[in-house]
């Protein structure tokens, strides 16, 4: 991950609603959720949700696909893992276990079904 990509991702996640949306989609896994389900669970009007989803997509943290009349959003797990790797690549002088991270972290943090 490039520094500019990390800044874009962190900027997108630095807003409470977007962080809530991203965490919800991470919990939903690779199947994702329809925009209406996200709005219902977060308690957000559709137009406001659309703005936040677009910000997360622009930062490379979400994917979107159409299923019939629904837009399904999923967390971009590769981007999330790349961000975690970028943030921890030099942790404790390269010894992630000294920082309390599991051996091999963050490469093994989260995998979607495509991995």
71 φ/ψ angles, rounded to the nearest 5 degrees: -100, 125
Minimum mean pLDDT among 11-15, 58-62, 77-81, 94-98: which range?
94-98
57/2 Cα distance (integer angstroms): 17
Cα 93–9–45 angle (5° rounding)? 145
Q: Please indicate whether residue 24 or residue 100 has the higher confidence score (pLDDT).
A: 24
Interval 21-64: pLDDT, tens: 999 999 999 999 999 999 999 999 999 999 999 999 999 999 99
Residue 88: is its pLDDT beyond 60? yes
Q: Please give the domain boundaries of the chain with CATH numbers for all domains.
A: 3-76 (1.10.10.10)
pLDDT of residue 105: 56
CA separation (Å) from 94 to 22, 85, 89, 99, 109? 28, 11, 7, 10, 17
If you average pLDDT over residues 2-30, what whole number do you get? 96
105 vs 86, which has greater pLDDT?
86
Which residues face 75 on adjacent strands? 62
């Amino acid at each position: 991950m490039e520094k500019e990509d990390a800044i874009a991702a962190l900027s997108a996640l630095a807003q409470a609603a977007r962080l809530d949306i991203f965490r919800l989609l991470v919990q939903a896994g690779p199947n994702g959720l329809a925009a209406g389900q996200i709005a219902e669970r977060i308690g957000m009007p559709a137009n406001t949700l659309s703005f936040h989803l677009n910000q997360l997509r622009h930062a490379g943290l979400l994917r979107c696909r159409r299923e019939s009349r629904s837009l399904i959003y999923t967390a971009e797990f590769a981007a999330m893992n790349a961000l975690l790797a970028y943030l921890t690549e030099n942790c404790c002088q390269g010894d992630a276990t000294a920082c309390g991270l599991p051996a091999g972290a963050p490469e093994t943090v989260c995998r979607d079904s495509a991995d």
